[in-house]
Chains A and B, each alone.
Chain A
Amino acid sequence: MVWAITEDHAGELWVGTWTDLYSFDRQAGTFRSYQRPRWSPAAVRSLYGDETGLLWVGTQGAGLYRWDGTRFTSYQPQTSNPHNAAGGFIRSIYTNLALDSGAVWAGTDANGLLRFDRATPGGEFRQYTEKDGLAGNECNVSWLTPTVFCGWPRTGVYPGSIRQRRTFVTTMRGMACTMAKHGLLPEQSRRDVHGCTGGLAAFYPEQIKDNALPPPIAITAFRLLNQPEP
């Protein structure tokens, strides 16, 4: 089963499956496997080729890998959920050198959002979960705007901005569905499409606004010694 497909910066096509990672030789029309010994088998759930030529591989249960064209480097997040080692599975990855010091953002299935600081020697993960204000620990990172979407089936999907590193919670109305996969439309559409258990949901991430003004509070009744005052 194919979970992830991406084209890296050099135009190489990569395919991630349950057991293996492949690159596709367009001329020969054949796949080249990156299985052992260089690649220990783990389901490849997400791929992202950044502008420096690195390929970032998100796995199921084996953390994050970096492929530099010669070898894989493994990075293991320490997450708050001991029953879901190595970040559970990484649903999506986004990184951009011009953004947030080139941090690699990874959305997981149950461990919230991971921020990997590639500038720190050896790399360093920071985890964001519901405790940090996420609406859920099931997160996707969209590379369109880029935007972070976290939610939980019954509460819908809540977008936030990597660019501003601000709170990841804004109220989003009308999306009471669980997200399955996003980014189904080409980039030109500028629209994020989430495939849901209940159908499709589409919106323009940059048009989602925070309500920065707290709503006014009105005192509607005042009682002294249990007697209403005007």
Chain B
Amino acid sequence: MSLPSDGRVQLSYQQNDLSFEFAALDYHAPGKNQYAYRLEA
């Protein structure tokens, strides 16, 4: 399964273990990039 461009993924109940890696594309002061993410039910 590839990640669609709209960011939506539909998974079956068996596919219950997933992970992401992400990066902010800002190289001005990369050490100061901060991330926030949220899990919603």
Q: Hey, which bits of chain A sit against chain B, CB under 8 A?
A: 171, 173, 211, 215-226, 229-230
Sorting the interface of chain B by its residue count into under 10, 10 to 19, 20 to 34 or 35 or more gives 20 to 34
Shortest distance between the CB of A172 and any CB in chain B (Å) = 9
CB of B29 within 8 A of CB of A220, answer: no
Please indicate the chain B residues that have their CB under 8 angstroms from the CB of A225 in the complex: 15, 17-18
Please indicate the chain B residues that have their CB under 8 angstroms from the CB of A219 in the complex: 3, 7, 20-22
Please indicate the chain B residues that have their CB under 8 angstroms from the CB of A218 in the complex: 22-25
By beta carbon, the residue of chain A nearest B19 is: A223
Shortest distance between the CB of B9 and any CB in chain A (Å) = 8
CB of A224 within 8 A of CB of B18, answer: yes
Shortest distance between the CB of B15 and any CB in chain A (Å) = 5
CB of B21 within 8 A of CB of A220, answer: yes
Decide: A171 near B21, CB < 8 A? Known: A225-B15, A229-B1, A230-B2: no
By beta carbon, the residue of chain A nearest B24 is: A215
Bound Cα distance A219, B2 (Å): 12
Identify 30 residue pairs between A and B in the complex whose beta-carbon atoms are under 8 Å apart, listed by A's number: A171-B29, A173-B29, A211-B26, A211-B28, A215-B24, A215-B25, A215-B26, A216-B24, A217-B23, A217-B25, A218-B24, A219-B7, A219-B20, A219-B22, A220-B21, A220-B22, A220-B23, A222-B18, A222-B20, A222-B21, A223-B18, A223-B20, A224-B17, A224-B18, A225-B15, A225-B17, A226-B17, A229-B1, A229-B3, A230-B2
CB of B22 within 8 A of CB of A217, answer: yes
For chain B, residues 2 to 17, give those with C-beta under 8 angstroms from any C-beta of chain A: 2-3, 7, 11, 15, 17
CB of A216 within 8 A of CB of B25, answer: yes
Bound Cα distance A51, B7 (Å): 58
Please indicate the chain A residues that have their CB under 8 angstroms from the CB of B33 in the complex: 215
